[in-house]
Homo-oligomer: A and B are copies of this chain.
Amino acid sequence: MNLKSDNAGPAHPEVMQALAEANAGFALPYGGDDATRAACDRLRAEFEAPEAAVHLVATGTAANALALATLAQPWQTVFCTPLAHIHTDECQAPEFYTGGAKLTLAGADDKMTPEALDRAIAGWPPGDVHASQRGPVALTQVTEMGRVYALDELRALTGIAAAHEIPVYMDGARFANALEALDCTPAEMTWKAGIDAVSVGGTKNGCLGVEAVIFFDPAPAWEFELRRKRGAHLFSKHRYLGAQMLAYLDSGLWRRSARAANEKAARLAEGLRGVPDAAFLAEPQANMIFARLPRAAHQRLHAAGAAYGLHEGPLNTGDPDDPLAMRLVCDWSIGEDEIDRFVEIARG
């Protein structure tokens, strides 16, 4: 019963198989190999974006930091939420890669609203040499609390950005989980909704470590290549990134895995609704659940060896009688039986 994170589970056998198959003979290094080319072509096809610039990197933070550095000038501010991974969990990689950009926090939680974005943008009036200059908006889809922006929510936000002529980046560490939640196409969730650049996560959804970065306007392609190399993120044996991503997309593995994870989370959420005094901190929509359970339930789960994150941040009051906030994440590999057992124990 490991619900700690979708980065703690194993890679999918199909990905491992592809890795083994890629390991034959010589291949051009640094992305010149066939697997990488095929993976990038496949991404362009999946996104109905034949002109898009597509690049692979090995970590989600690299994807975010390199993409934002390409979109933001060092004297600009990125607009994101206070719970954005780029703000809370990347040890200032975005600040490092951008050369000192600022992150302006919009809103109060994981999900940006048009009002919050408007207010944040208004805080930095244009043309003022003393102020931070307006830079890209960064949205996380699935959000850090497991919620999903609906397509019209995305369009409302990207419309505001477009009115201010600032680009929008989507941190898609859990892109496929969002796709499944919305049951839409990659194009609908990105460029058709006004997104300028996106990362497409593989690592949390069955790969060992690979993410794609896509710019729908390919103009920054060469700059990104240089930034990736300068950031030491260009792999010499690049075929192993390409092979992962190709297997991930082939036969729809990315969506299959995401669907499996989402369904387990839905089953888990449904089960937890039956726990007395349980409460959700955000309505579960993808593969993550943020909830409060009574202390006794935690104790039973702990005794049974269940693993999950206890939220130490402002979600918990510190009052020892308070139900504790927890984060439960389902990856592609977790079994229904584990979910059911978790629920059973939680219910007591």
Contact = CB atoms under 8 A, between A and B. Distances in A.
Contacts of A24: 10
Oligomer copy total:
4
Given A100-B96, A226-B133, A232 B26 contact: no
User: Which of A28, A60, A77, A204 has most B Cβ within 10 Å?
Assistant: A28
B129 A59 contact: no
Given A4-B26, A74-B99, A232 B233 contact: yes
Contact of A7 (B29, B59, B75, B227): B29
Interface residues of A, number: 75
Nearest to A236: B7
Contact of A131 (B25, B29, B88, B100): B88
A93 interface: yes
B226 A91 contact: yes
A57 B233 CA distance: 10
A208 interface: yes
A123 B313 contact: yes
B20 A16 contact: yes
A232 B93 contact: yes
Given A4-B26, A11-B23, A58-B235, A92 B75 contact: yes
A230 B75 contact: yes
Contacts of A274: none
Given A91-B230, A131-B88, A226-B133, A23 B10 contact: yes
